[in-house]
Structures are given as C-alpha cells and as structure tokens.
Amino acid sequence: MTAVDARPATSTGTRPGTGTGLRFPTGFRWGTATSAYQIEGAATENGRTPSIWDTFSRMPGKVHNGDTGDIAADHLHRMPDDVQLMKELGVTDYRFSVSWSRVQPTGRGPAVERGLDFYRRLVDELLANGIRPVATLYHWDLPQELEDAGGWPERDTAQRFADYADLVARALGDRVPTWTTLNEPWCGAFLGYGNGLHAPGRTSNLAALRAAHHFNLAHGGAARVLRDRLPSTAEISLTLNLHALRPLTDTAADLDAVRRIDAVANRIFMDPVFHGRLPQDLVEDTAGVTDWSFVRDGDLEVTSTPIDSLGINYYSPSVVSAGSSASPAPWAGAEEHVAFTPAAGPRTAMDWPVDANGLYELLTRLRDELPHLPLMVTENGAAYEDYADPAGEVHDPERVEYLDAHLTAVHRAIQDGVDVRGYFLWSLLDNFEWSYGYSKRFGIVHVDFASQRRTVKDSARWYAEVIARGGLARD
Ligand code: FCB
C-alpha cells in the first residue's frame, strides 16, 4: 500500500480556523461509502458466480470501454489496507454492501461460508479500528440465476431476498449495528428494467413497475427478518435516491409534470414503505401500462414494516416541465408528459449540475413528511477529472468545493430541525462507476487501476480535517 499521510493539508486553503465554523452535533456519523461490485473484484473467487452486473458488463456496448468489475479496486485482497486508510482519515462509520453472489451464489439455499468469511473479516477489521460497520444487503448485483428465473419483476425474488437477508444477519448480526436493506431501488427498477441502461438491461415499463413493487416487498420482508434476527439495538434502514424536483415555471402544466415524476420516482417507494399505500395518482398515470394486480392483499402491510431510519443519496436536482422526453427514458410512460431542462451552473465530470440546495430541499421535505424518522445522507459526492501529478499528488479543489457546499446544506437542514444523524461520502475509492466503467472517478482516494496504487486526494485530507473538527471551518 502507498504510505498515507492523511494529516491536514496545507494546499487546500481550508485549515481549521479560529472562526466560528459550522459545528455538527456530537455523535454525528462521518462516513464513507462503497459497494461490493464497484470495488471488490475477485469475481470468481471462493465460489462466487456471476451477478447481473457481471453479465451486463460483458454485453457489447453496455459499459464504457467494455470495463467489468472483475478486478475493480481489488478491495477483496486489499481490505485491511483500505480499512487503515479510513482509520487515518478518522471516519467513524463505513457503509459497504454485501455481494449476494458471493454469499449465496445461486440466490437460493445455504450460504457459502468462504464468501461470508470476507465480510466477517471486514467487520472485525472495522471494529478493531474503531469504525462502525453499516451493511447494505443489496446494491444492484442480483445473482444471475435469479434474473434467469425472472428477476425483480417476479414476486419470488422478494422472498429470495428475505432468505438471503437471514443468512447475512445470522453471520454478522452480532457485530453490525446498522443495516440497510436496499440501495436505490429506483435505479434497480427503472434503469435496470425500464430503459435498460443498467443491468440486467431490459426495456419494459411493465417490468419496471413490477420490479419497483417487488423491491418494496423485498425491503419490508427483509426488514421483518432482520428485526427478528438482530439484537433489539440494531438500526434497520433503507436507502432511496429521492429525486429533488423543481418545476421550470409555476404554470399548472409544469407543476403537474413535477407531480408525475414525483409519483414515479419518489412516492412509488415512499408511500408503500412509510404509509402502507400506493400513490393513487401513480396508479392512474400508469393505467395504460398495468392495473397493478401484482400487488396482492397484505403486501402493503409488509412493505410498511416500521424501520428506524432512512438513507438519502443525493447528487443533483432535476428541472421538470410539461413536454416530452427522448427515449430511452426511465419514467414508465410519464416521459410522454414531461421534459427535463439541464439546471444552470457548474457541472461535475458526470455532467451533473452542482446544486446543494436540492439536498436541503429533500431533507426538509422529509422532516415535514416523516417528522419522527432519523435520516442519514448515505451517499453524496462528485466525479471530476482527477489525476496524480508528477509529485504523486491529486489536487481536486472542485470536489472540496462540492463537498463543502453539500455539508453546508446538511448543516442548514439540521439547524432547521431535520434529524440528520450522519453523512457518508461517496466514495472512499475510485471505482467501477456502472455503465461509465472506470472513466469516472468519485473517490477521495485515487486508485491507479493498473498498479492498484492508492493515493489520498486533497479532498480526503480536507474531509479528515472536517471530521477532526466536527464541522466546517469558516474563517
Ligand atoms: C449512486 C449509486 C452509487 C454510485 C453513485 C455515483 O446512484 O448508488 O453506486 O454509482 O451513484
């Protein structure tokens, strides 16, 4: 491993000051986040068999440059060093995901102990270094055999997920305090089955809506299993990428376009999970696609099993108006009624607008809708064109600026009464960015994928300062 000096940098111009600063509450959880397929590699080791991302990344033209997660950041072999990196940064929490294909390769039957062993070692290593593990059970990597049996549009996949949750909970339940069932089911359903830009690459509005319901059912079923299996102190959560939506104008037509996207992107998960109902307007909007008869009696009781917190992943907002969108659009038919306008202002390397107010808007909306539910920002971060300079340093001032702005928004939300318990920076390491392959770098630690050398970026040093200070400097 590269020797790491995570001490406060002098080059970022953000040294702790004597000014007042923006202090976060005591006990605030300062984390980093990753996911299994994006960093682990070791795709065929210890009995692991393909997930839908292994298959999809081999389909011509689906992933930039034909990249796959076969090796990724080789984290499976470098895990203790990567944990040391986090320790040196001072993070209090680490959000990782468990690869279903590593633990239960066919998606059925008993666990593969050698697969579970990696996560046992990871959790032990984290705890030994004073870092709290936050485990996500599903970050988009369905075992291929379950996709071959119909995947998320089939109801049985939800039951398979609850059984898998049980296996992982039995193995790690005594040492992992926080559990997240699913990461961003919107992407799994609408990018995976709707417009096909993600694995498994299907393009069917009906399949996407069925998948969304079965994700909700899987979440609720797993939450019940976890509640039974885990100590009473365990925190059970779900992570959604709620869309921060803004109307282009305040005409009734544009407001109605926002309503449609809010239904198919946000309330399709929020309503079943937190209110035990389907959004009636969504059912009406999608009448041409389905009559929703795949939602059976009792399902909405399962989907609304009480949980302890909600994770929000936020990157940028969307500006919506009446109109129509080019296909392939992941909106289950709503694309015939809505248009998206790029928001003004600076962009990241993903071409995503930088706008921290969207995060504040989402957090305050959640405070109003679910006043008693603790929140965590489980992902936030940005890709930029990072490179190691001849001195071996990676200067990423735009990322520091992005992170500072978004943490400022979180701080403002907390001041305004939102119960935000933590912030998980996406991502610890540069990694396999799904259909963009290795071309987009979100890490605060640079990875040279040829040598697997890790280099701490300026943003990591900046984050270490923020954590050490318990907030943002303002001087
Ligand atoms: C989120 C995903 C995460 C990463 C970031 C950039 O949607 O959960 O895996 O790709 O976007």
Whether ligand 1 lies within 6 angstroms of the CB of 239 is answered as no
- What is the DSSP code (8-state) at residue 336? G
Query: pLDDT digits over 419-470, tens only?
Result: 999 999 999 999 999 999 999 999 999 999 999 999 999 999 999 999 999 9
Tell me which residue has tokens 């069917």.
Answer: 204
Closest ligand 1 atom to 38 CA: 9
Cα separations (Å) of 223 from 79, 111, 130, 227, 231?
28, 19, 26, 6, 13
What is the whole-number distance in angstroms between the Cα of residue 182 and the centre of ligand 1?
13
Distance CA 328, CA 208 (A): 13
Is residue 315 in a domain? yes
Is residue 321 in a domain? yes
Please list the alpha-helical segments (H only) found in 173-237: 185-186, 205-229
- For residues 204 and 196, is the Cβ–Cβ distance under 8 A? no
Nearby residues of 54 by Cβ (< 8 Å), 6 or more positions away: 43, 68, 69, 70, 101, 144
Closest ligand 1 atom to 183 CA: 8
Query: pLDDT digits over 133-191, tens only?
Result: 999 999 999 999 999 999 999 999 999 999 999 999 999 999 999 999 999 999 999 99
Whether ligand 1 lies within 6 angstroms of the CB of 314 is answered as no
Whether ligand 1 lies within 6 angstroms of the CB of 35 is answered as yes
DSSP for 43-70 reads TTGGG---BHHHHHHTSTTTSGGG--SS
Tokens representing residue 38 in the block:
């994006």
Distance CA 258, CA 181 (A): 28
Instruction: Tell me the Cα Rg of the chain.
Output: 21
Could you give the angle at which helices 458-469 and 75-89 cross, rounded to 10 degrees? 50
Whether ligand 1 lies within 6 angstroms of the CB of 442 is answered as yes
What is the whole-number distance in angstroms between the Cα of residue 127 and the centre of ligand 1?
25
What is the whole-number distance in angstroms between the Cα of residue 333 and the centre of ligand 1?
24
Does residue 379 have an active-site annotation?
Answer: yes
Please list the alpha-helical segments (H only) found in 335-457: 357-369, 397-415
Cα of 29 vs its chain's centroid, Å: 16
pLDDT at 17 over 80: no
Distance CA 13, CA 253 (A): 46
Closest ligand 1 atom to 35 CA: 9
| Residue 343 binned pLDDT confidence (cut-offs 50, 70, 90) | confident
Mean of per-residue pLDDT scores for the chain: 95
Whether ligand 1 lies within 6 angstroms of the CB of 313 is answered as yes
Catalytic residue among 40, 125, 147, 184: 184
What is the whole-number distance in angstroms between the Cα of residue 224 and the centre of ligand 1?
26
Q: φ and ψ at 424, to 5 degrees?
A: -115, 115
Determine the pLDDT at residue 19. 55
Query: To test ligand 1's pocket by mutation, which of 313, 376, 380, 430 has the most ligand atoms within 8 angstroms of CB?
Result: 313
Is residue 291 in a domain? yes
Is residue 5 in a domain? no
Decide: helix, strand or coil at residue 126. helix
Q: Which residues does residue 455 pair with via DSSP β-bridges, in sequence order? A: 446
Is residue 1 in a domain? no
Query: To test ligand 1's pocket by mutation, which of 136, 433, 439 has the most ligand atoms within 8 angstroms of CB?
Result: 433
**Percent over 90 (pLDDT), the chain:** 94
- For residues 79 and 95, is the Cβ–Cβ distance under 8 A? no
**Percent over 70 (pLDDT), the chain:** 96
Number of domains composing the chain: 1
Helix (H) or strand (E) holding 424: strand 420-426
Whether ligand 1 lies within 6 angstroms of the CB of 433 is answered as yes
Residue 46: give its domain's CATH number.
3.20.20.80
Helix (H) or strand (E) holding 31: strand 29-33
pLDDT at 16 over 80: no
- For residues 348 and 402, is the Cβ–Cβ distance under 8 A? yes
Query: pLDDT digits over 25-59, tens only?
Result: 999 999 999 999 999 999 999 999 999 999 999 99
Q: Residue 405 class from Cβ within 10 Å (0-12 exposed, 13-18 middle, 19+ buried)?
A: middle
Distance CA 8, CA 462 (A): 7
| Residue 8 binned pLDDT confidence (cut-offs 50, 70, 90) | very low
pLDDT at 14 over 60: no
Report the nearest-CA residue for atom 9 of ligand 1.
35
Positive or negative, the Cα torsion across 76, 81, 84, 86? Answer: negative
Whether ligand 1 lies within 6 angstroms of the CB of 183 is answered as yes
Is residue 474 in a domain? no
The range of the structural domain enclosing residue 155 comes to 10-469
Determine the pLDDT at residue 344. 85
Positive or negative, the Cα torsion across 349, 353, 355, 360? Answer: negative
Query: pLDDT digits over 235-277, tens only?
Result: 999 999 999 999 999 999 999 999 999 999 999 999 999 999 9
Whether ligand 1 lies within 6 angstroms of the CB of 379 is answered as yes
Least confident of 158-162, 194-198, 214-218, 327-331: 327-331
Q: φ and ψ at 331, to 5 degrees?
A: -120, 20
Whether ligand 1 lies within 6 angstroms of the CB of 144 is answered as no
SS3 for 77-94 is HHHHHHHHHHHHHCCCEE
What is the whole-number distance in angstroms between the Cα of residue 438 and the centre of ligand 1?
13
pLDDT at 3 over 60: no
Cα separations (Å) of 84 from 3, 89, 287, 387, 472?
10, 9, 53, 22, 24
Helix (H) or strand (E) holding 146: helix 144-148
Is residue 130 in a domain? yes
pLDDT at 4 over 70: no
| Residue 475 binned pLDDT confidence (cut-offs 50, 70, 90) | confident
Does residue 184 have an active-site annotation?
Answer: yes
Is residue 2 in a domain? no
What is the whole-number distance in angstroms between the Cα of residue 148 and the centre of ligand 1?
25
Whether ligand 1 lies within 6 angstroms of the CB of 241 is answered as yes
| Residue 225 binned pLDDT confidence (cut-offs 50, 70, 90) | very high
Distance CA 317, CA 359 (A): 8
What is the whole-number distance in angstroms between the Cα of residue 455 and the centre of ligand 1?
21
- What is the DSSP code (8-state) at residue 310? E
Nearest to 431 by CA among 98, 74, 169: 74
pLDDT at 330 over 60: yes
Whether ligand 1 lies within 6 angstroms of the CB of 34 is answered as no
Determine the pLDDT at residue 155. 98
- What is the DSSP code (8-state) at residue 216? H
| Residue 7 binned pLDDT confidence (cut-offs 50, 70, 90) | very low
| Residue 20 binned pLDDT confidence (cut-offs 50, 70, 90) | confident
Cα separations (Å) of 379 from 37, 184, 297, 376, 424?
16, 10, 34, 9, 5
Distance CA 133, CA 378 (A): 13
